[in-house]
Structure 1
Amino acid sequence: MRGIKRAVVLLTVLVVALVVIAFVLENQQGVSLSFLGLATGQVPVSVFVIVALIVGMLIGPLLGILVRSRRHKSTPAGRA
């Protein structure tokens, strides 16, 4: 069973990697992003999207931990 699980995880990682590579290769148009008076130079669209994905993957779990810890603190001692 462990071997099948590893194979599925490996296959999933490979598929995700191929999708990311295809996305990067398809989105090479240069764009400039402007926000609150700050502007970037010409960078491919895929860079902005992948950076946003990584930031979201970092912030999401951190917010989950924060909410879970606050919920845990607000629970009365007698209840779980």
Structure 2
Amino acid sequence: MRNFKRLLFVLFFLVVVLGVLFFVLENQQPVVLVFLGWSLPQLPVSIFVLLALLVGLLVGPILGFIVAKRRSTLKSG
């Protein structure tokens, strides 16, 4: 059973990696991102999307922790 779970994890990981690889290969159009007068260098659109995903993966748990901390202080106080 342990080997089966490990195999499923490896297969899932490979599917995710292949999905990201196909996404990057299909989205090679160069774009320039301009936000509030700041201009980033010309990069493939896939780089900006993957960076936005990584920022979201970092910010989401941090905000979740803050909300949970506030809820626990409101209930105890």
Which bin holds the TM-score, normalised by the shorter protein? over 0.9
CA RMSD between the two structures:
1.1
Q: Which amino acid aligns with 1:54?
A: L
Q: Which residue of 1 aligns with 2:17?
A: 17
**AA partner of residue 16 (structure 2):** V
- Runs of 4+ in structure 1 displaced over 3 angstroms? none
Tell me, in whole angstroms, the C-alpha distance in 2 between the residues paired with 1:76 and 1:60.
Answer: 24
Please give the TM-score of this superposition, normalised by the length of structure 2. 0.93
Q: For 1:36 and 1:25, how far apart are their aligned partners in 2?
A: 29
* Cα distance in 2 for residues equivalent to 1:12 and 1:32: 33
Aligned length: 77
Structure 2: segments with no counterpart, 5+ residues: none
Q: Which runs of 5+ in 1 are unaligned?
A: none
Q: 1: CA distance between counterparts of 2:49 and 2:10?
A: 24
Q: Following TM superposition, by how much is the alpha carbon of 1:20 offset from its aligned partner in structure 2, in angstroms? A: 0.2
Give how far 1:73 is off. Answer: 1.0
**Residue 62 of structure 1 aligns to which amino acid in structure 2?**
I
